[in-house]
Every structure is written in structure tokens, then in C-alpha cells.
A and B are shown apart, each in its own frame.
Chain A
Amino acid sequence: DIQMTQSPSSLSASVGDRVTITCRASQSISGYLNWYQQRPGKAPKLLIYAASTFQSGVPSRFSGSGSGTDFTLTISNLQPEDFATYYCQQSFSAPYTFGQGTKLQIK
């Protein structure tokens, strides 16, 4: 099975900041990497799929990049509603494993 490792596990930032979350796969997953946002008590929301493609309705301050084993999610100009937990997921081969999550908190 493919293991996904996210870093950092938590992150403190201020409104207006730019932050980057990284995700590393234990083997190449080509570009089959998805990013989700989850707010407390809510279902996850797909932000980016195929490493860098925005899901419909996602603000352009979110961006994704990477291929192979190393990927990043960048959030520019942080807004209050962006403080949540973020997960990466590989969809290259089943089981479609998730990273352990990154909790983005207000500084």
C-alpha cells in the first residue's frame, strides 16, 4: 500500500499570510493527488484534484503542485474561513490512502 506523509501536522498563521503544506508519497503516484479541507464537525470538501486542478468553486488563493512523490498545497492571503484541517489523498491505486492531516490554526 502507498503511504502518504504530510507535513507539518499543525501550523499557525495569521489572516493574510501564505502557507504551504507538503505531502509525500511512499512511491510514485504520478499526478494522482487530491487535497481536501475539513472544518470541525463537517464532511471533507475537495479542493484540488490531479495535483493542481481546482474543484469547481474553490477560490484561486488555493493552489497545488507536484508530481511523482512530492506535492504541495499553498494557500495565499489566508482568510478566516481557511482555518481548518487539510488532507492529501492519493488516487493512483487502491487503497486510496490519506495523509494524516495538517491542522491550520490562527496565530
Chain B
Amino acid sequence: EEQLVESGGGLIQPGGSLRLSCAASGLTVSRNYMSWVRQAPGKGLEWVSIIYSGLDTYYADSVKGRFIISRDNSKNTLYLQMNSLRDEDTAVYYCGRDQGHGHLGMDVWGQGTTVTVSS
């Protein structure tokens, strides 16, 4: 069974940094396009970032220059390094697998990890 499990969320002060992890089982992170999506409390889904199997990366304008998506092939794990955190980054963060080289939707999702940015 293909499964993703996020971790690393928590309470962090504005301006701080946090790294989220997404451990995969039943699928190989390096062979897939993988994304992060977030959802602020009571709000809709916001696409955050994607990493292609060939290591190309893309970001939402709201996080560009502050967040970095990466992966560790040996650990079969996806990461999201979040720097210069702002109140508006408070959200549940989901990782997911993009099928069809990124063009056919996210078919496998983690359960989410909560990030709260507050002083």
C-alpha cells in the first residue's frame, strides 16, 4: 500500500524555521513528482511546491525564496524547509504524490502536519 506520513509540525515564532518531513512507503519518492499543499484554518487548499523526479522545483509566489522542497532518496523522504515563517504560514501541511508527471492530480496524500506560527 502506498502511504505518506508527515511529521515536523509544531508551534514556531514568526521569523523562525521549521523542516517538515514526509516519509513514503510503498512508493519511491525519487521516481515520482511530489508536492506540498497547505490549508490554513477554515480556509481552502493552497498549492505550495512541487519537486519533479528530475529535481526541478517550483513554488507558490507566497513562499518563493523562503521555502525549499527537497528529498533524500536513501530515506525515501520528502522535505519542506520553511524559513522566515510568518503568521499566514499557519496551516495544515500535506504532502502528496502527483501522478502522470505532475499533470494528473495528487492521488496519494499524507494525513497532514500542523504548523502554527505565533508569538
By a beta-carbon cutoff of 8 Å, the part of chain A in contact with chain B is: 1, 32, 34, 36, 38, 43-46, 48-50, 53, 55, 85, 87, 89, 91-92, 94-101
Contact A43 B104 (CB under 8 A): no
Contact A44 B45 (CB under 8 A): yes
How far is B61's CA from A34's CA once the two chains are assembled, in angstroms?
Answer: 21
Contact A89 B44 (CB under 8 A): no
Q: Taking A43-B110, A43-B111, A49-B100 as contacts, is the C-beta distance between A97 and B47 under 8 angstroms?
A: yes
> Would you call B105 an interface residue if the criterion is a C-beta within 8 Å of the partner chain's C-beta atoms?
yes
What chain B residues lie within 8 Å of A38 (beta carbons)? 45
- Min distance, Cβ A38 to any Cβ of chain B, angstroms: 7
- Min distance, Cβ B103 to any Cβ of chain A, angstroms: 5
5 CB contacts below 8 A, A to B, read A36-B106, A43-B94, A50-B103, A53-B104, A101-B45
What chain A residues lie within 8 Å of B104 (beta carbons)? 34, 49-50, 53, 91
The DSSP consensus for interface residues of chain A is loop
Q: Taking A44-B109, A94-B50, A95-B58 as contacts, is the C-beta distance between A49 and B99 under 8 angstroms?
A: yes
Contact A49 B47 (CB under 8 A): no
- Min distance, Cβ A7 to any Cβ of chain B, angstroms: 14
The closest CB in chain A to the CB of B92 belongs to A43
What chain B residues lie within 8 Å of A101 (beta carbons)? 44-45
Q: A100 is contacted by which of B44, B58, B98 (Cβ under 8 Å)? A: B44
Contact A49 B44 (CB under 8 A): no
3 closest A-B pairs by beta carbon, nearest first, are: A34-B105, A94-B58, A49-B105
What chain A residues lie within 8 Å of B45 (beta carbons)? 36, 38, 44, 87, 89, 98, 101
